[in-house]
Amino acid sequence: MNSKNWQLRYDDLQTGKKSYGQESLLSLGNGFLGWRGAPIWSTYSDNHYPGLYAAGIFNQTSTPVAGRDVINEDMVNLPNPQLLEATINGTALANLDLVKRSSKLNFKSGILEEIFVFQHDQGLVTLTSAKFIDPINWHMLAITASLTADFDAEIQLSSLVDTTVETQNVERYRAFESHQFDVQEVNPTTKTVLVQTKQSGIQIGLAVDSQVEYAGVSLPVTAQVVDQKLVEEVLVKALANTPVQLTKRVVIATSRETFADLLPFLQNELAQHSLASIQNNMADYWAQIWADKDIVVDTQSQGVKDFITKQWNQLWDNDDVTIASDGDILQLMIRMNVFHLNQAAQWRANEHLDASVGSRGLTGEGYRGHIFWDELFVLPYYAANEPRTARAILQYRIKRLSAAQANASREGEAGAMYPWQAGLYGDEQSQVIHLNTVNNEWEPDNSRLQRHVSLAIVYDLWIYTQFTGDTSLLDEGGLNVLLETSKFWLNKVQKADDGRFDLSGVMGPDEYHEAYPEAKEGGVKNNAYTNVMLSWSLGWLLDLQKTLPSFAAIAAADNFDADLLQKAADVAANLRLEQRADGVFAQYQDYFNLSEIDFDAYAKKYGDIHRIDRLLKAEGKSPDDYQVAKQADFLMLMYNLGNQRVAHLLEQMGYQLPADWLVKNTDYYQARTVHGSTTSRPVFAGIDVHLDRMDEAEEFLQQAIRSDYDDIQGGTTAEGVHAGVMGETLAVIQNEFGGVDLRDGQFSINPHLPENWSHLAFTQVFQGVKVAIVETPTVVQLTANADLDVEVMGQPAHLVANQSMTFKMEK
């Protein structure tokens, strides 16, 4: 094993947002719990934030601001069970200078190991720690620690559950109320803690057990309550270079997923699961993940036959994605992304939860832990690797259909309108207005007008059914989501005299355009992304009418009648787009009338212009006035559906496409996009692959896949990793460079490897069949664990179970 490709390691002493960002990347998780990688000795400060989260646990608070009560719903930072305090000859560890640090997260094992060396006036004090989180018994986590002084010392060791924590990860949120729960009980006898969220009324319980050993002897540990903190402590007279060793097990449960009385449940779990069982479960889980989900990119010069043999031996059940390229960092970043996605959600936990994947996973409090459209970027990964996880995530949305209907009703709309930001209940968590701190006036917040989130949810349902062949989720509420969101759109469009339908008052993915210049109301007209995705969504609805046996009964029960079906067909074929004579589509109607902007001048003046919206506003201008995009908007269609499907849709809608339509649209929007969102660059990477711009494609991929590692968004990784771009870059590697497409209900592959990639290997699960894929510049090898009809570089082929087939790459 090349350890550099499997370990995220930091040896520097960072502060501020850089330290916070490293802690996000060092986070552990198991689908239920997310555990930031802050040092066990740290508390909330400008340099450290030891957060702990449980999926789906939110609370609302109210804060008076400028004459208004601002309501925020936040993912709750749970009581902190990792805090270790120590005094060495009367001096607190927290008051010593940290002189050396090493943090190592091993993706292969899922273990975070750290070493901290402190300067004491009598010598050096070394603290080593390891963190473990159980993916099987997903209520459990554990810590081991060892404290050693290189001089004789009286050491008081205290292991705490700190109930005084608040939700304070994000600097700009700290002015708002952040105390999320009340302490109900801290019991030193049972070593249990019980708290309850203030508004949502969710009980959260923790039980702990700490064992301390010195010189091979177990020491008695006392427990007490100090300032509502559970404190387990021991006093040791330690000889020089003789460690005091701690093992702490923690069990965490909430009333959202645990329906028994929490305290007996906690104590029973703690009694049943040892550190060894946690370690064994982690070993089994991560062995299976890397046997199933690795993506391998390799630059070794070994022969193709040797490489394929090696990959088959390692990869048959393999989730790793391995690449042979001219640098180790790409392989490391791939594995980091795979690792975090398999911590953000996994079926063993998520099947028992009512939760989805927020934009930052469970690694920080950015965007208050809310769920946006980022499911669109991560769900295809789960669907092609662990469909049970994808299904559980979709059920979160299905369960909130009634909330989406209520959202629509409140806005005077029909059907169901999913919120741009969702949390516990499924109501809209985007603010209606925000305070302009320059003039101290309240202004509209139009971000909620990104109604395309409903289309993203439908897309996710479609992806799941195409990848898995499982339509049962449609029978269990999924079709109702499609029917009710279709009612929303069919009511919202307006038919013009020319027979075309217009859609107004929405925003596309590009958040730099919330309204027309000087407009009093937010939203734009005929956003191309929204209209084309709507045409596609209605088309799928009409297809299901013909193919889904339960369609008629479910549609009848939903009052989706023949008139609505006819209108769906009419709207799908006649939504309006604005198109120039050269084939370039306007991002929205009248977009071409906006002013151009001199990007070179702004870059020369400001340097980094990825948040040019803020630069313009600081100059008294508005991005609404200019042809500038935060991220891919119209071009996002290619990522979702692929170039050929988009072309077919556009032609069905009555628009003629020149042969070079994709080149012209790509060049036009690429020149105007500043990539203010991490999800932007992978879209351009995928398009450039199909335009045979391989150097540009790989550059976009390299920038995107390092987004969090390099923290290219100006410190935002401090608030949690960007889960969307993690899923998106893996999709681009496998689906665009690797050429795998599962979206038409069949397995097809047509690779496009960069010149400096000698090998690419990964697996995909398609409709219950696992396919191991090995690609080189000259051959593609496919091996399935069941018979499967496939399409390879445009030609049909039949895979026989457990027999490898090799295909020559086309020149």
- Nearest CA to 761 out of 334, 320, 325 is that of 320
The burial class, CB within 10 Å (0-12 / 13-18 / 19+), for 677 is buried
User: Which secondary structure element, helix H or strand E, spans residue 790, and what is its range?
Assistant: strand 788-792
| 3-state SS class at 113 | strand
How many other β-carbons are positioned within 10 Å of the β-carbon of residue 90?
8
Asked whether residue 245 is marked as a ligand-binding residue, the answer is: no
Q: How far apart are CA 774 and CA 738, in angstroms?
A: 9
Structure tokens at 354: 């009512």
Query: 348 near 135, Cβ under 8 Å?
Result: yes
Catalytic: 166? no
- Nearest CA to 591 out of 554, 637, 568, 624 is that of 624
Q: How far apart are CA 708 and CA 313, in angstroms?
A: 32
Torsion of CA 573, 574, 578, 579, to 10 degrees: 50
Q: 68 - beta bridge partners?
A: 65
Asked whether residue 631 is marked as a ligand-binding residue, the answer is: yes
**Largest separation between any pair of C-alpha atoms in the chain:** 90
CA angle, corner 207, sides to 206 and 208, nearest 5? Answer: 120
Using the CB atoms, write b or e for 792-803: b if 16+ within 10 Å: beeeeeebeeee
Query: 355 near 320, Cβ under 8 Å?
Result: no
Check residue 162 and report its DSSP letter.
B
Question: Left if phi > 0, otherwise alpha if psi is -120 to 50, otherwise beta: which for 368?
Answer: left
Q: How far apart are CA 389 and CA 423, in angstroms?
A: 19
The burial class, CB within 10 Å (0-12 / 13-18 / 19+), for 303 is exposed
Asked whether residue 374 is marked as a ligand-binding residue, the answer is: yes
DSSP-derived secondary structure for 612-662: HHHHHHHTT--GGGBS-BSS-STTHHHHHH-HHHHHHHHHHTT----TTHH
Q: How far apart are CA 784 and CA 767, in angstroms?
A: 12
Task: Check 73, 85, 257, 511 and give the catalytic one.
Answer: 511
- Owner of token pair 């849709």: 649
Asked whether residue 180 is marked as a ligand-binding residue, the answer is: no
Q: 796 - beta bridge partners?
A: 791
Give the β-pairing of 501-502 and 759-766: unpaired
Q: 91 - beta bridge partners?
A: 88
Check residue 718 and report its DSSP letter.
G
Structure tokens at 615: 């630069």
User: Which secondary structure element, helix H or strand E, spans residue 404, and what is its range?
Assistant: helix 401-410
Q: 53 - beta bridge partners?
A: 34
Binding residues for substrate are 373-374, 630-631
Catalogue the active-site residues.
511
Binding residues are 373-374, 630-631
